[in-house]
Amino acid sequence: MSGYLVRRLALSATAMLGVITIVFVLLHVSGDPASLLVTQDATRQDMERIRQAYGLDRPLSVQYARFIARVARGDLGYSYRQGLPVTELIADHLGATFELALASLAVAILLGVALGMAAATRRGSGVDTAAMTVALLGTSMPSFWLGLLLIIVFGVKLGWLPISGYGGWDHLVMPAFVLGGFYAAQVSRLTRTSLLEVLAQDYIRTGRAKGLRDRVVLFKHALRNAALPVLTVLGLSFGQMLGGALIVESIFAWPGMGRLAVQAVLGRDFPVVQGATIVGAAVFLAVNLTVDLVYGWVDPRLRSAAQRA
């Protein structure tokens, strides 16, 4: 087990190094990043200042080495636009993203698993078709469009929920629903399939034959075994939610990392884009690693299979 852990950690570490390199290359491929910061107020002196402050006039290899060293120390540089440390900006925004991701995960689980279970246990019926149609639509609708529709209906016309911003649970409902809904749709389909496969297994039939009640069979045996792939997907989805909720955060003005990244791109604030990408990747890797480890621990068969890969 510890060998597996060490190996996975090493893989994650090299992946992180790769991410940092990608991020560095991206920045410098564009040529002179400071030059794109021009606005009608910020002029040449500001560009020069930035260029010098960030050492952009040094040779590339020197910059790369310094960049790696800085990131290893936890220093992600300073925002071009706001002059504040990137780590601080990200720390200020990460909490909001976590909140949203957790709430969305709850939605994905509650909605997705419930829908999937309902469809699997009533396979072939109207409920099944309806549930799977809803799920299909859920994965087909662009999140920004769904978000807009919800804002119009619940925020403006009915006035039940606040349209945007950060606040209590009522501010969280719509963004969580839009972000979580997409994954809920996927989870429901997966739950259905997984549950169906398990339900067809012999030991289920044995249980039934032994006279156990349907409900016991379902919850005690079927669900637990069907849960594994679903949990994996949920874990991966959580990682995606943490790093990629850009659209939802933008529409709902949710002050998370995704919105920070989008505004940084629009404002050509490269250090922030870099920092957000690195942190997003780190979080994603951490979540994946956790999911892998939990999975490996729970199902010993996979551990050995993974070790061989």
Partner 1 sequence: MAGSTLVFEAPRSARSAGRASPILRLLRTPSGAVGAALLGILLVAGFGASFATPYDPAAQDLRNTVHPPSLVPVRGSVHLLGTDQLGRDILSRLLVGLRISLLVALTVVPLSTALGLAVGMVTGYRGGWLDVALMRLVDAQLSIPTLLLAVAVVAVLGTGLPQIVAVLVIAGWPGYARVVRAEVLALREREFAAAARAVGASDIRILAQHVLPNVLPTVLVLGTLHLPVVIIFEAALSFLGLGIQPPTPSLGQMIGQAQDLVWQAWWMPTIPGVTITLVVLAFNLLGDRMRDVLDPRLRGLGPV
Partner 2 sequence: MRRGRWRTIVALYAAAAVVLALGSGVATQAQPPRVLVVAQSADMATGDPAKNTGLATIAVLANIYDTLVHRDASLNLKPGLALSWRAVDPTTWEFKLRKGVRFHDGEPFNAETVKFSFDRMLDPKTRWPGAGALQLIKAVTVVDDGTVRFTTSQPWPSMPRFLGYYGMIVPPGYLKQNGDDALARHPVGTGPYRFVRWVKDDRVELEANPDYWGGRPKISRVVIRVIPTDAARVAELLAGSVQLANLVPPELFGALKTSSKTKLVVGKSLSVFFVIYNLVNIAKDKPLADPRVRQALNYAIDRQAILASVMHNVGTPVATFCTAVMTGCDTSIPPFRYDPGRARALLREAGYADGFDFSISGTSGTYPGDRDITLAVADQLNRIGVRARVHVTEVGVQLRAVLDRKLPEDGWFTRFTDFFGISTIIPLRAFYSPGEWSQWRPGYAPFNQLVEAAQAAPDEAKLREVSRRLQLMYKEQAPAITLFTAPNANGMSRDLEWTPRPDLELTMFDASWNRR
Residues found near partner 2 in the complex (CB under 8 A): 35-46, 49, 81-84, 89, 92-93, 151, 155-156, 159-160, 162-166, 170, 250-253, 255, 259-260, 263, 266, 268
Q: Which lies closer to partner 2 via its Cβ, residue 2 or residue 40?
A: 40
Contact partner at residue 273 from partner 1, partner 2, none, CB < 5 to 8 Å by partner kind: partner 1
Minimum distance of partner 1 from residue 149's CB (angstroms): 8
* Contact between 225 and partner 1 per CB under 8 A: no
Binding residue count for partner 1, defined by CB under 8 A = 79
Minimum distance of partner 2 from residue 280's CB (angstroms): 17
Q: Binding partner 1 by CB under 8 A: which of 1, 30, 65, 220? A: 30
Contact partner at residue 166 from partner 2, partner 1, none, CB < 5 to 8 Å by partner kind: partner 2
Q: Which lies closer to partner 2 via its Cβ, residue 167 or residue 211?
A: 167
* Contact between 275 and partner 1 per CB under 8 A: no
Write the interaction track for partner 1 spanning residues 167-206; mark x where CB under 8 A is met and - where it is not: ------------------xx--xx-xxx-xx-xx---xx-
Contact partner at residue 83 from partner 1, partner 2, none, CB < 5 to 8 Å by partner kind: partner 2
DSSP state of 201: S
**Can you say whether residue 201 is alpha, beta or left, with left for phi > 0 and alpha for psi between -120 and 50 degrees?**
beta
Minimum distance of partner 1 from residue 269's CB (angstroms): 9
Q: Is 184 exposed, middle or buried (0-12, 13-18, 19+ CB in 10 A)?
A: buried
Minimum distance of partner 2 from residue 276's CB (angstroms): 13
* Contact between 295 and partner 1 per CB under 8 A: no
Q: Residue 159, SS3?
A: coil
CB 172 within 8 A of CB 99: yes
85 - beta bridge partners?
78
Q: How far is CA 108 from CA 7, 136, 138, 255, 287, in A?
A: 31, 14, 11, 21, 17
**Helix residue ranges, H only, the chain:** 2-29, 44-53, 60-73, 86-107, 114-121, 126-140, 143-150, 169-199, 202-210, 214-216, 224-244, 246-251, 257-266, 270-298, 300-308
The Cα 119–Cα 130 span in angstroms is 8
* Contact between 233 and partner 1 per CB under 8 A: yes
Minimum distance of partner 2 from residue 166's CB (angstroms): 5
Q: Binding partner 1 by CB under 8 A: which of 5, 16, 42, 306? A: 16
* Contact between 266 and partner 1 per CB under 8 A: yes
CB 54 within 8 A of CB 84: no
Q: Binding partner 1 by CB under 8 A: which of 1, 9, 10, 18? A: 18
Name which of residues 73 to 112 contact partner 1 (CB under 8 A): none
* Contact between 56 and partner 1 per CB under 8 A: no
Burial 256-274, CB ≥16 within 10 A → b, else e = bbbbbbbebeebbbbbbbb
CA 93, distance to chain mean position in Å, is 15
* Contact between 214 and partner 1 per CB under 8 A: yes
Minimum distance of partner 1 from residue 101's CB (angstroms): 11
Q: Which lies closer to partner 2 via its Cβ, residue 189 or residue 259?
A: 259
Kindly give, in sequence order, each residue whose CB lies less than 8 Å from that of residue 11, ignoring residues fewer than 6 positions away.
Answer: none
